[in-house]
A and B are shown apart, each in its own frame.
Chain A
């Protein structure tokens, strides 16, 4: 599959074996959606050898910036486009919600803590709670892991967890938070550090990390992230994943997005641990 994807990339702009010119579709943005976008591109590319779909990551902001300066036709974003970003586009963008992502809070499998409230999580990430003992765990310092500030996941976590959805709040991450350049950076540090806590898209979590159950209020029910709890909204950290186009995209781009929204594209969403978007 991967080799096929690379092959598609490498012959971009060239000619397919039928001699027909290969047309490129550039697809850039959210790292959370990278695996997903690559899987779509590979499967769709195999069905349409005349198309070459080049997928790159960099973060939601980078994808939308690329859409604004015209270097990509499809931007992947794990957040909604901001008003100031819309203002920079020549025409109103087309928004397609292609999946739902649940953000999992993960710790080392040996960590005895298995559930937290959002308020506890907020205190932890603000540096108000610094020892696992205060959360019912062992006497050990809490090592905070986060994505870099340019990641849509970081901003989502800041707004929904640290600030508990309060728009007026100016709370920010504790300065000792380790900022990891990638999702894999977070999961691999979690696997080797029993004191670390991090967050990542459910699609990136493996059996080697322990997923915490979360409650959205102090007397609320603790819910573990899963396809069912993300879609029914009972898991507090679930969000939409979007594709943005300029609204003036070519017909083949429109076809591609229609395929993603269809049964085949949504089957891939489910296979990668994300939640298929509801019609």
Chain B
């Protein structure tokens, strides 16, 4: 039972990985292939900040999120925006190139050594609920994930900014006819996705190891969470992430090395049975 509950906890983290991708893919109709590398880069920034200031990684996380917001804003404005409107391939190629550049920059700056973020006593703390011993850090990950999903859903669902980005996603040209500065809106949205990824990176670094080459695997989990949930659905990314986490946990019960394999198999089965993802079930009802 504890293994499955831990699957839910790790799934919440996958959901957070996926949220940034869900926003770029579903709302901005862009694919950022460097998404996983930005998560790892954020983890390194958190590590450096934590070591430099001598404080807990969680204290540095808000600052890293702000830094990554600016990085996302500038990246969209100066690089990705220039590739839009020229077909689907240019943004894919540019972000693929960015992924390689980022991996090499991280290798140069931080070496290939495996690192992690030291959670301190938080890492070992646990609480007893209904006879089950649950880690405080995984529980915190779940709570933070729900809070971020709720906030994102509220911002994109019922604010002026949210309406503007959904309208821009439907039609860039018509959105401009409404007075929406679409390139600015997309830049803010990309900033938000990287800020969310930075928060995910903090919890990732405190719960596992990372090195410059682990980005693509984060990207894969993020992609699977989004597809499992349903492209374009914010809460779908969380549902998809949790299903992926649960599948991996169930697989590891059979054999500890089967976790990722079972996760990928469940992804394939759901993709075949429900191409629209889990949220398509809700829409059918």
* A in complex with B: no
